[in-house]
Amino acid sequence: DTGVSQDPRHKITKRGQNVTFRCDPISEHNRLYWYRQTLGQGPEFLTYFQNEAQLEKSRLLSDRFSAERPKGSFSTLEIQRTEQGDSAMYLCASSRVGGLNTEAFFGQGTRLTVV
């Protein structure tokens, strides 16, 4: 296991710019998740993929957010026209297919700062 890898680790951008984050899950994991964590809060679910299919999107994911997982491997999360409220840690996780007690493995996250 090489673990879940996220790139970049830190991103500072000006308001109104677009940003894209990448997540490489553990290779045999079919499920991939994106979460957002703001200071002092627990991670909040954004979206979920099973293989290449995006099965659920949170209401938190406005039209400015889009996520893809082409070929069921790595995933990207794009934020268009960033706002200061988008400043947060964006976490990616992956897991095997299984029941509700299946463990998810998390990456170290991408910290986004919008100035």
Partner 1 sequence: AQSVTQLDSHVSVSEGTPVLLRCNYSSSYSPSLFWYVQHPNKGLQLLLKYTSAATLVKGINGFEAEFKKSETSFHLTKPSAHMSDAAEYFCVVSDLGVDSSYKLIFGSGTRLLVRP
Chain contacts with partner 1 (rule: CB under 8 A): 3-4, 31, 33, 35, 40-45, 48, 50, 55-56, 91, 93, 95, 99-109
What is the C-alpha to C-alpha distance for residues 38 and 22, in angstroms, rounded to an integer?
Answer: 19
Minimum CB separation from partner 1 for residue 106, in Å? 4
Which of 19, 23 has the CB closer to partner 1?
23
Token duo for residue 73: 């491997």
Minimum CB separation from partner 1 for residue 69, in Å? 13
Minimum CB separation from partner 1 for residue 41, in Å? 6
Which of 74, 80 has the CB closer to partner 1?
74
What is the C-alpha to C-alpha distance for residues 26 and 98, in angstroms, rounded to an integer?
Answer: 15
Token duo for residue 96: 């095997």
Which of 4, 19 has the CB closer to partner 1?
4
Strand, helix or coil at 83?
coil
Which of 69, 82 has the CB closer to partner 1?
69
For 4-35, b/e burial (b = at least 16 CB within 10 A) is bebeeeebebeeeeebebebbbbeebebbbbb
